[in-house]
């Protein structure tokens, strides 16, 4: 799912579309020579955050560390990057509760859908960007 939702500047891949190097929606055809952005990327799920159902290819939500655009010098926060094909998948009750918990616990959460991004502060209702 990260090969669809995330941008990769080295290969001019925009966010929200499948990378041209994905094979069968499962595998990177240039894995051994993939860009550094791909090599260094770990979504939060790969770091142990979230349940099995929140695995990005199942939930259609990629949770990432992200900088708050309103506070570029502040600490990194968290963002949910949504699959444009399933932009409402984050509203599944367990996922919604998980995102709301992050929002309230850390003071804010970002949500991104393609190039559309929004930051929601603690207590603010989440919406698809
Ligand atoms: S280069 Fe490979 S790892 Fe990187 S986005 Fe494309 S398919 Fe995914």
Residue holding tokens 């995330």?
Answer: 6
What is the percentage of the chain residues whose pLDDT exceeds 70? 95
DSSP H or E segment with residue 103 = helix 93-106
Average of per-residue pLDDT across 14-29: 93
Residue 76 pLDDT: 80
Residue 70 has pLDDT above 70, yes or no: no
DSSP H or E segment with residue 5 = helix 2-5
Domain-by-domain residue ranges, the chain? Answer: 2-121
How distant is the alpha carbon of residue 92 from its chain centre?
16
Verify whether ligand 1 is closer than 6 Å to residue 30 (CB atom).
yes
Verify whether ligand 1 is closer than 6 Å to residue 62 (CB atom).
no
Can you tell me whether residue 117 is helix, strand or coil?
strand
Average of per-residue pLDDT across 32-49: 95
Average of per-residue pLDDT across 45-69: 91
pLDDT category at 69 given cuts 50, 70, 90 is low
Verify whether ligand 1 is closer than 6 Å to residue 4 (CB atom).
no
* CA 46 / ligand 1 centre spacing (Å): 16
Residue 73 pLDDT: 75
User: In testing the pocket of ligand 1, which one of 17, 24, 28 has its CB within 8 Å of the most ligand atoms?
Assistant: 28
Residue 25 pLDDT: 83
């Amino acid at each position: 799912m990260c090969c669809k939702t995330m941008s990769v500047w080295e290969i001019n891949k925009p966010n929200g579309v499948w990378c041209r190097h994905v094979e069968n929606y499962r595998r990177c055809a240039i894995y051994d020579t993939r860009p550094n952005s791909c090599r260094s990327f770990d979504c939060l799920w790969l770091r142990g955050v979230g349940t099995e159902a929140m695995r990005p290819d199942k939930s259609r939500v990629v949770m990432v560390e992200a900088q708050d655009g309103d506070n570029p010098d502040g600490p990194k926060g968290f963002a949910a990057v949504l699959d444009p094909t399933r932009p409402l998948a984050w509203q599944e009750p367990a996922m919604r509760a998980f995102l709301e918990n992050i929002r309230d616990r850390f003071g804010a959460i970002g949500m991104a859908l393609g190039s559309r991004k929004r930051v929601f502060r603690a207590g603010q209702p989440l919406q698809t960007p």
